[in-house]
Amino acid sequence: MAFDLDMIKKVYDRYSTRVDAARKATGKPLTLTEKILYAHLSEGDAKQAYTRGTDYVDFAPDRVAMQDATAQMALLQFMQAGRPQVAVPSTVHCDHLIQAKIGAVADLTTANDVNKEVYDFLSSVSDKYGIGFWKAGAGIIHQVVLENYAFPGGMMIGTDSHTPNAGGLGMIAIGVGGADACDVMAGLPWELKFPKLIGVKLTGKLSGWASAKDVILKVAGILTVKGGTGAIVEYFGEGARSLSATGKGTICNMGAEIGATTSIFGYDEKAAAYLKGTEREDIALLADAIAEHLTGDDEVYNNPEQYFDQVIEINLSELEPHVNGPFTPDLAWPISKFATAVKENNWPTALEVGLIGSCTNSSYEDITRSASIAKQAIDKKLKTKAEFTITPGSELVRYTVDRDGYLGTFAEMGGVVLANACGPCIGQWARHTDDPTRRNSIITSFNRNFAKRQDGNPNTHAFVASPEIVTAFAIAGDLTFNPLTDTLTNENGEQVKFDEPQGIELPVKGFAVEDAGYQAPAEDGSQVEVKVSPTSARLQLLDPFSPWEGTDLKGLKLLIKAKGKCTTDHISMAGPWLKFRGHLDNISNNMLIGAINYFNNSADSVKNAITGEYGPVPATQRDYKAHGIGTVVVGDENYGEGSSREHAAMEPRHLGVRAILVKSFARIHETNLKKQGMLGITFADTADYDKIQEDDKIDILGLTEFAPGKQLTVVLHHADGTEDSFAVNHTYNAQQIEWFKAGGALNIIRRQQK
């Protein structure tokens, strides 16, 4: 479990040389983001690195982290790469497959039983290839990484969209698909389009009910779910330095909700304190020695408009607590306006469940602030009106807050402690309800609240807030309650009001744990057998995808024209489908079942051009595949936003979809499509989306001359004999075009290992 101090020394040793070279090449002061990126350029790739926002650049990350749901497919792919061990330090974290139902102990026991073959596979493949393995119950990947592996100035990729959590300790940490992780573990450079830079200047200092969570809730309201796309968000200023390291992690974590590539804070005394508090003083001492390189240059922060593509300024002293939602994390409401919004929009006012914790807000500080509200409810004789759950982020945090009495406080006010896992945040929740379709409201301290995400009910209005706000709302059971100003009637009939929450950044007695849940890999894994049963319904060894046939694509059918928001949850749902993450054919039965068909406004109902009948999307596509017919999926703006799951790219590829044509892509999903050899293209004129008809035959021309920056042409052959033709764009560079031709990046990796 120990961090790799020698690796960190090597990273820091090259900083001065790399940063000085970058200053000379660019002729200007540097942001923190630029310093870290330049320090992690792959050897020999400085040629394009200083042209911000235009060129793809090769980087050499220091670390790979994988959660169990996505690790299955990433490692199944890595097994085909032909390497005896991973090339960089890597870890697997079992956090996604534990369903929240009864409570921590019972749910973990059930998970270990139900998921045994998956855990055995992940344990054995980690053992064989030199990967650290964190057992079920050890904690959520992002919290465990922050506590053990994140370090200032490092670069990490992770197979989860909330990997940027590590930015709270000054690390460039980016969510990717499993194919990208496979590349890096195989020793190949990792490619990223050099990002735009958004600067967020924080002034003042938080007080009262306001928390770090409210910073990102406000930023989400400003930038929306697309505003950070293609950009890294860098926070700076006196306000930034006043925030705890875990509070910064919360902000960076939820930066995924604005589409940002990642978010980051500079190294400061708060980061040093957290490193020391988690037994990493050696890293703090190394970071202190190069502290000037672990923050942006003074000239940048004094004149940010000259060095960032966009600058936002927030005064923490004036920041109100926020509640965001429902159905999208960027619908931001200051608490003073939230009750009015609830009434005006006719959202269900009765709150049924309040949920705190998750990878976003489960630090010691979060738990203590929430517990201070829970303790007031007990002392002021308030009965909790809504169901209330607590999800610790790691066994380290859970054990420590239990030792310090906070879990007992939650239990006394009626709370239920769930396993150290993602649970309800990702739909792994057996919710207690008498009507799973009823219009209702819940509030969480999670990061994401798309429709159906938590409990599968499209009528659940999910709102997002800080843990302390969630706790207060759960006690009140009423969304029109304002804990800052309103009173509640206690069991004695008295009117009582909450005092401001109080929290502790780091435990006074230090962190403690009996068994953190870590398993080190074998010293020599050559004789370790990877456990995959040929009859398993949950695990399936992969066959390579077929290469491009060398011709234009003609006579394709339209599978679905998706209307409106189409996230990775719509393309490949989580919840009960998580159990099939290691079995590509079985999980493909959820492909696009959540997408809304433009032509009938229904989910999982598309016209089969062979039979003329309407049926489920996966079954229709399997029929096309059986008849050798290729298809096209058409989508709207920001197609594939949300979680990093590469299954959303692999499933269409596996079932025979030939192209995804959309108005715009979310970054990770577009990359995932490219890695799998799929053609991902965008309308040059978004109005051409309206020309797509249900019975069209579709040609995609220009592939025989496929080249970077060169448009392709789509021809629509309509059922009435007319045609439409229009240009489409793509962002494939020369290397990515080779992925397409080879049938996927993995096919090229395997050839290179021979």
SS3 content of the chain, % helix, strand, coil (to 5): 35, 20, 40
- Strand 90-93 to 132-134 pairing: parallel
Residue in 369, 448, 647, 654 annotated catalytic: 448
Q: What is the block-wise mean pLDDT of the chain (754 residues), using blocks of 10 residues?
A: 83 91 90 95 64 74 94 91 91 94 93 94 96 97 97 96 97 91 90 91 98 98 92 98 98 96 98 98 97 97 97 98 96 98 98 96 97 98 97 97 98 95 90 92 95 92 98 98 98 98 97 96 92 92 93 98 95 86 95 98 97 98 98 97 84 98 92 94 98 98 97 98 98 94 87 70
Q: What is the DSSP string of 421-466?
A: S-GGGGT-B----S-TTS-EEEEESSS--BTTTTTS-TTEEEEE--
pLDDT of residue 44: 58
Distance CA 74, CA 672 (A): 12
AA identity, residue 595:
A
Do 730 and 709 contact (CB within 8 A), yes or no? no
Residues 6+ apart with CB under 8 A from 690: none
Secondary structure class of 510 (helix, strand, coil): coil
**Residue 70 structure tokens:** 């996505």
Distance CA 682, CA 395 (A): 44
Half-sphere exposure of 293 (CA within 13 A, CB side): 26
Do 152 and 124 contact (CB within 8 A), yes or no? no
- Give residue for tokens 């600067």: 199
Residue in 96, 398, 570, 583 annotated catalytic: 96
**Residue 440 structure tokens:** 């209702």
pLDDT of residue 518: 97
Q: How far is CA 101 from CA 411, 432, 470, 747, in A?
A: 16, 8, 20, 41
Residues 6+ apart with CB under 8 A from 645: 69, 70, 177, 568, 572, 574
Do 554 and 630 contact (CB within 8 A), yes or no? no
Q: Where are the beta strands (DSSP E) in 15-109?
A: 56-59, 63-67, 90-93
Query: Could you report how far apart the first and last alpha carbons of the chain are, in Å?
Result: 33
Q: What is the DSSP string of 97-148?
A: S--BSS-HHHHHHHHHHHTHHHHHHHHHHHHHHT-EEE-TTSB-HHHHHHHH
95 labelled catalytic:
yes
Helix (H) or strand (E) holding 697: strand 697-701
Residues 6+ apart with CB under 8 A from 106: none
Q: Is the dihedral of CA 102, 416, 452, 663 positive or negative?
A: negative
- Strand 712-717 to 723-729 pairing: antiparallel
- Give residue for tokens 């650290």: 132
pLDDT of residue 80: 81
Secondary structure class of 516 (helix, strand, coil): coil
pLDDT of residue 441: 97
Residue in 161, 643, 644, 664 annotated catalytic: 643
Distance CA 637, CA 281 (A): 46
Helix (H) or strand (E) holding 213: helix 212-223
Do 645 and 675 contact (CB within 8 A), yes or no? no
In 3D space, the residue among 174, 237, 252 whose CA is nearest the CA of residue 205 turns out to be: 237
Distance CA 504, CA 266 (A): 22
pLDDT of residue 216: 98
Distance CA 325, CA 449 (A): 7
180 labelled catalytic:
no
In 3D space, the residue among 488, 450, 486, 443 whose CA is nearest the CA of residue 468 turns out to be: 443
Q: What is the phi-psi region of residue 752: left when phi exceeds 0, alpha when psi lies from -120 to 50, beta otherwise?
A: alpha
448 labelled catalytic:
yes
In 3D space, the residue among 147, 198, 188, 155 whose CA is nearest the CA of residue 173 turns out to be: 155
pLDDT of residue 659: 98
725 labelled catalytic:
no
Residue in 160, 569, 604, 699 annotated catalytic: 160
